[in-house]
């Protein structure tokens, strides 16, 4: 059979499945699948090379469905390729099926969860970069919607892709003109998209997205380009079924049983073809040969040292023994101290400039290919990538995030630069490890713990230099804590982390002079928190607990301790109680209620029973 | 004196102040001020018109310093204009001064906090739109850095500005080539910026940013354009002081005392000029004549109604009586139900397309001009704008945000679409009101409460239809709660909100059959939470509290209740305990532990004392 005829047949099969699946599920986005049937047919059954037996084969081309709501046609393509059974398609969106409403890696061929629009291109940029690093000659294809091109994250990714000369990256925009609630800003004005991508340094091709010949030619040309290439495919939403074609009001709506019958009649019988024969298998390729060792050499410190400085040292030494470790920076590497790694391992260091969303999205793609990306910026600016962090969780991503300059202890730069909600962002994610060292040694120990953990992990570092409490090589296991002061007569337990550990220790000394003995705990593992030790220590300290943190009152240490105690002790939670301002660190810590003086007051209040 | 000569003198004065201020403060970014001294001199002392006596004068041109780290030169300009005293400049970054390290509206001429880069253009777009709405002929100027042009939010804003034909908007990019840790991606390649802005539909001018003549001419041309205009100003970081000019490693570093002396010697004596004489005062202008009434007409409901549907109705009726109310949509208005307002009040409705960051940033600008923007999208996608929401707080913004499709109760669409961390985002912000209605009547009541509140407020709405619990016109004051079930023999208190209220009521009925009586509370005001009523009700129910919420365990209702109780009762917190997946709402609520069955189990556990 002629290739083009075969691909047209496959496209029709994909259409029929997409319609049936969504009607069976009672929800989903059939019209957005129909506009890209020819594109998917050409991609999966001619252009891409992949080993149907192994989604992790290093030789595979990769595919990212950025317009995640088109999941049904992706599942249908995998069924046509023989990767999943066709009968499984009718389980779309069921709780028992991996064929979710939007793709997640519960289905093994999906490497990154999508469905929050405008993120897929960053994932593809990360994958394409990882492939170059791993000397793969495979390619990455990202299928985007036209509506999502309004997301700034797309242009961050586009910028980086051309800067990094990722000629192994091909984006396809399914320009079907219609968004969810109305037409897109540019409708079918293809030149608007063309101008933008060209301005961002991409090769651009404009085609009829339903013309198999044009599609195949475009992919061929894209392979020859020395730039990232975007194929702007003019398409019709709902293509193939006349009563929904190019009509507003059909986004995210499955056909009713009757309408489905009419639609299937119009499309005609399911074409007979064994699509599996058209899948192209790649040549064998060697994987990058990762040496993933974790026990890096620790440093000796003297005097006061910022935890961020120790993070930089740890990353450098980790990089020496683990060639999977990658460092990404958003133009603050001299503040986060990623810069030493950048100098020593320029080939594994990437300047993403001030584009945090793309930096995290790329991290998901890089991690999906087996590398271990460390992404460091100011904690405040990680909030810029909150949606990408959220999607990293649903991607089960092995991403390591580092937020520096946390809290009011940064001082005079003012609130815009203070990370005061970061613990809340990361604690909200089930399974996300959150570590918050207070000195240089614990910083190094926490880096080792986070890299040993396979999954999302966050390290919180502090701007000012802090004294040394621990010693070289001490372990800081996930879920642990350190009791720093303890006696037989403790009347209360102070739980601190990061910079407030030192305020707690100051308070301890003063209270001791007043004959009030207290326990002091460093809860460096904010999540999971050391529930057992907290309960035990609270019980040994009169069930009076004071928490103190350089973070807003909600989402951080105080909440974590309250949740661990579940009512087993009285708690006073000290945290940054109001919108802060510029000032000196010590002034601010006093003004906003987290200094040693406030801790002492809280302890006295607790001990005197006046809550 | 020749105007150009005067402006050059003023520029030099601004340079001298910027250097002195930052050395005095011991921190700050003098070199980034020096690159824009001529631009600021021309803006504040020739181009812009403003009434120095009234920052809120509707006739004023507006200025947004998107590159917020250049705050010192902004403060110096205000001092030169006679708005603040010159001696105040030496209090830069002190805790007692409103001249913070990055601008905040503590200084009254600042309308939006900046310092998280790439956000100022959205604020300016919002202001320019508000001015058009209010029939002002004034203009908006946004001063940007080159480095921040890597942020996608800039391109979201650029896209919207040209789409909305904001010819009253002028952006200036201070292309000084150097970022914080190294050169920017494009350095002094002005054509890279030019291509991008042109592709996004802007008029572009490229000038020498130190040439006063070119600057004045560019502003003049910008005023004549029928598009938003960007002036790409090629500048030298550190300009005027040879040993820091165009040198990497000088970002965010004040000069040491000795270096300051050398720099001042090079710059020469402070030029004698009374800059106040060059400030241009605008013609009188009428403000938009806001009618800010809040008591809108309430609806009557029957059967089951989604809270999001009632939100749409409330917004529509509010719009009828309050002409300051504006609706912004990110192409989900048919899901959030903003669409009725869009149909009825198209002139106050704005389609921002899928660009949530810009939508929130614009909201800050719109609110700064006295309008009341309601911004509704899926709660999950508000995480995309977390950094802008953070900055809205520091802008003391009267922004109303609405997140629909919260939690696992959305069902089959899967986790990417589920708002599960939104309560945490908004509760983290001190002073932010968070309301979470469970039925149509409470939804309308909450809308009235949030619009009456002057400040940041968040409404959480639910996808599925829910039964009616309350009646037309019932009040839902901020900080309140409703006790739905109560007896003399209550053994526990169930605190729920939104969809889980109905699970709690189901559990109540079943437990009653088992002769276990419980109180049931609807904690619709998540922040501030009704601490008093919670404590009182817990004490009347055996000090056993069960919270249940369609949200992740951290940051939401459970934490709010635990914090309110502060150890005064035992608590079992039920929440979405793991990364969810696609499925039916009821299946998911059971699988992830927030259904009536789970509540019953928790109550039995609590009552039997086995925690």
**What is the residue-wise DSSP string for B180-201?**
SSSB-SSTT-HHHHHHHHHHTT
What phi, psi does A6 have (nearest 5°)?
A: -60, -45
Nearest to A559 among B559, B570, B577 (CB): B559
Q: Where are the alpha helices (DSSP H) in A419-567?
A: 422-427, 440-452, 500-513, 531-539, 557-565
Banded model confidence at residue B609, pLDDT cuts 50, 70, 90? confident
User: What confidence tens digit (pLDDT) does each residue in B262-292 have?
Assistant: 999 999 999 999 999 999 999 999 999 999 8
Candidate from B335, B357, B555 with C-beta closest to A424: B555
Single pTM value for the model:
0.98
Nearest neighbour of B591 by CB, restricted to A95, A335, A421 = A95
- Alpha carbons B72 and A108: distance in angstroms, whole number: 53
Kindly name the residue from B62, B80, B356, B503 that is annotated as catalytic.
B356
Helix spans in B101-187 (H): 120-133, 152-163
> Quick check: helix, strand or coil at residue B403?
strand
Q: Is the minimum CB–CB distance between B30 and chain A shorter than 8 Å? A: no
Distance (Å, whole) CA B349 – CA A540: 60
- The token duo for B517 is 């009586």
- Please tell me if residue B183 touches chain A, with a CB cutoff of 8 Å: no
Q: How many of the other CB atoms lie within 10 Å of CB of A598?
A: 22
Is the Cβ of A424 closer than 8 Å to some Cβ of chain B? yes
Task: Specify the pLDDT at position A610.
Answer: 57
Residue in A206, A168, A210 with CA at minimum distance from that of residue A49 = A168
C-beta neighbour count of A262 within 10 angstroms:
14
Please say whether the beta carbons of A262 and A37 come within 8 A: no
Residue A567: predicted pLDDT: 81
- Determine, for residues A151 and B152 on separate chains, whether the beta-carbon distance falls below 8 Å: yes
**A444 lies within 8 A of chain B by CB:** no
Q: Could you read off the pLDDT of A462-490 as tens digits, one per residue?
A: 999 999 999 999 999 999 999 999 999 99
Write out chain B residues lying below 8 Å of A152, CB-based. Answer: 151-156, 355, 357-358
Task: Please tell me the predicted confidence (pLDDT) of residue A568.
Answer: 86
Note whether A553 contacts B: Cβ–Cβ < 8 A.
yes
Confidence of residue B1 (pLDDT cuts 50, 70, 90): confident
Report yes or no: B71 and B14 within 8 Å, Cβ to Cβ: no
Helix ranges, A270-396 (H): 307-321, 333-336, 339-344, 356-368, 379-382, 386-394
Per DSSP, what are the bridge partners of residue B372?
A: B325
Whether B149 and A355 have beta carbons less than 8 Å apart is answered as no
**Hey, is B611 helix, strand or coil?**
coil
Give whole-number Cα distances, A267 to A12, A59, A78, A264, A495, in Å: 8, 36, 21, 5, 67
Check CB contact under 8 Å for B94 and A583. yes
pLDDT band at residue B608 using 50, 70 and 90 as cut-offs: confident
Q: Nearest CA to CA, how far is B599 from chain A (Å)?
A: 16
Interface membership of A308 toward B (CB under 8 Å) = no
Beta-sheet strand order (sheet of A518-522): A482-485, A518-522, A492-496, A544-548, A570-574
Asked if residues B580 and B407 have their Cβ atoms less than 8 Å apart, the reply is no
* DSSP classification of residue B134: T
Give bridge partners of residue A174 from the DSSP assignment.
A145, A233
pLDDT recorded at residue B610: 57
Cβ–Cβ pairs < 8 A, chains A and B = 340
- Would you call B582 and A100 a contact, using CB atoms and an 8 Å cutoff? yes
Cα gap B586→A159, rounded to integer Å: 43
Distances in Å between the alpha carbon of A381 and those of A360, A461, B118, B306, B388? Answer: 11, 14, 11, 35, 10
Q: What is the mean pLDDT of residues B434-449?
A: 98
pLDDT in tens, A188-203: 999 999 999 999 999 9
Say if A526 is an interface residue toward chain B (CB within 8 Å).
no
How far apart are the C-alpha atoms of B244 and B235, rounded to whole Å?
13
Q: Check A93 against B431: CB less than 8 A apart.
A: no
Chain A residues close to B412, C-beta within 8 Å: 25-28, 93, 101
Q: What is the mean pLDDT of residues B374-379?
A: 98
Contact B32/A at CB under 8 A? no
Flag whether residue A303 sits within 8 Å of chain B, measured between CB atoms.
Answer: no
Contact state of A195 with B196 under an 8 Å Cβ cutoff: no
From B335's Cα to the closest Cα of chain A, the distance in A is 8
Give chain A's residues under pLDDT 50. Answer: 611
Distance CA A460, CA A476 (A): 14
The overall average pLDDT reported for chain B is 97
CA distances B42 to A353, B45, B76, Å, are: 30, 5, 14
Q: What is the mean pLDDT of residues B77-85?
A: 98
Alpha helical stretches, state H, A238-283: 257-267
Rounded average pLDDT over B447-461? 98
B589 closest CA partner among A430, A391, A95: A95
Task: Find the residue in A nearest to B71 (Cα).
Answer: A413
Residue keyed to tokens 């372990």: A475
- pLDDT at position A139, please? 98
Cβ distance B579 to A394 less than 8 Å, yes or no, reads yes
Establish if A300 touches chain B: CB-CB under 8 angstroms. Answer: no
For residue B207, what is the DSSP state? Answer: E
Q: Is A156 a catalytic residue?
A: no
Q: Which of A184, A580, A42 is nearest to B159 (CA)?
A: A184
Q: Looking at B396-459, list the stretches that DSSP marks H as alpha helix, in order from N- to C-terminal side.
A: 422-427, 440-452
Q: Give pLDDT tens digits for A265-279.
A: 999 999 999 999 999
Residues of chain A with Cβ-Cβ distance to B390 below 8 Å are 380, 383, 421
Using an 8 Å CB-CB cutoff, list chain B residues near A380: 116, 387, 390
Interface of A with B in 76-105 (CB under 8 A): 93-95, 97, 100-102, 104
Name the 3-class secondary structure at B76: helix
Summarize pLDDT for B310-349 with one digit per residue, the tens.
999 999 999 999 999 999 999 999 999 999 999 999 999 9
The ipTM of this complex is 0.97
Q: Are A374 and A342 in contact (CB under 8 A)?
A: no
Residues 6+ positions from A585 with CB-CB distance below 8 Å: A408, A409, A410, A411, A464
Q: Which of A356, A421, A448, A503 is catalytic?
A: A356
C-alpha span between B109 and B53 (Å, rounded):
10
């Amino acid at each position: 059979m002629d290739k083009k005829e075969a691909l047209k047949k496959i496209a029709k099969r994909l259409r029929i499945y997409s319609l049936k699946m969504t009607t069976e599920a009672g929800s989903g986005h059939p019209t957005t699948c129909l506009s890209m049937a020819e594109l998917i047919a050409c991609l999966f059954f001619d252009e891409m090379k992949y080993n149907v037996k192994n989604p992790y084969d290093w030789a595979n081309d990769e595919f990212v469905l950025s317009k995640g709501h088109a999941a049904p046609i992706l599942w249908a393509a995998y069924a046509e390729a023989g990767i999943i059974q066709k009968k499984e398609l009718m389980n779309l969106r069921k709780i028992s099926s991996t064929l979710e409403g939007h793709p997640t890696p519960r289905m093994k061929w999906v490497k990154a969860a999508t469905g929050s629009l405008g993120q897929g291109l960053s994932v593809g940029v990360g994958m394409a970069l990882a492939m170059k690093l791993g000397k793969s000659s495979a390619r990455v294809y990202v299928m985007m919607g036209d509506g999502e091109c309004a997301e700034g994250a797309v242009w961050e990714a586009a910028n980086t892709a051309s800067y990094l000369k990722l000629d192994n990256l091909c984006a396809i925009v399914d320009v079907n003109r219609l968004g969810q609630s109305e037409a897109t800003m540019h409708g079918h004005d293809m030149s608007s998209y063309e101008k933008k991508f060209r301005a961002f340094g991409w090769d651009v091709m404009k085609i009829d997205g339903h013309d198999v010949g044009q599609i195949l030619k475009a992919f061929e040309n894209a392979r020859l380009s020395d730039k990232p290439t975007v194929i702007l495919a003019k398409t019709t939403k709902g293509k193939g079924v006349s009563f929904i074609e190019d009509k507003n009001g059909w986004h995210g709506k499955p056909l009713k049983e009757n309408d489905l019958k009419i639609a299937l009649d119009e499309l005609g019988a399911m074409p007979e073809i064994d699509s599996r024969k058209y899948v192209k298998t790649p040549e064998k390729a060697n994987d990058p040969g990762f040496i993933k060792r974790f026990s890096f050499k620790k440093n000796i410190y003297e005097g006061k040292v910022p935890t961020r400085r120790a993070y930089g040292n740890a990353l450098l030494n980790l990089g020496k023994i683990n060639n999977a470790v990658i460092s990404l920076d958003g133009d603050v590497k001299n503040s986060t101290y990623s810069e030493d790694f950048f100098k020593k391992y320029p080939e594994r260091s990437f300047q993403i400039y001030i584009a945090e969303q793309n930096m995290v999205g790329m991290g998901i793609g890089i991690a999906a290919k087996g590398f271990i990306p460390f992404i460091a910026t100011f904690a405040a600016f990680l909030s810029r990538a909150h949606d990408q962090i959220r999607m990293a969780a649903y991607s089960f991503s092995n991403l390591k995030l580092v937020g520096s300059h946390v809290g009011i202890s940064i001082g005079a730069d003012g609130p815009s630069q203070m990370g005061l909600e970061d613990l809340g962002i990361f604690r909200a994610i089930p399974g996300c490890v959150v570590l918050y060292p207070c000195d240089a040694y614990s910083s190094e120990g926490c880096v080792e713990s986070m890299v040993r953990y396979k999954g999302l992990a966050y390290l919180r570092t502090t701007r000012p230099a802090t004294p040394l409490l621990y010693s070289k090589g001490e372990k800081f296991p996930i879920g642990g804590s350190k009791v720093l002061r303890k006696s037989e007569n403790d009347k209360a337990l102070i739980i601190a982390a990061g910079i407030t550990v030192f305020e707690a220790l100051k308070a301890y000394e003063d209270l001791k002079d007043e004959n009030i003995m207290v326990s002091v705990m460093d809860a460096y593992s904010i999540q999971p928190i050391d529930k057992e030790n907290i309960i035990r220590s609270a019980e040994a300290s009169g069930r009076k607990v004071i928490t103190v943190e350089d973070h807003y009152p909600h989402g951080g240490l105080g909440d974590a301790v309250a949740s661990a105690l579940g009512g087993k002790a009285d708690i006073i939670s000290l945290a940054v109680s109001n919108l802060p301002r510029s000032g000196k660190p010590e002034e601010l810590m006093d003004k906003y209620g987290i200094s040693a003086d406030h801790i002492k007051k809280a302890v006295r209040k607790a001990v005197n029973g006046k809550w």
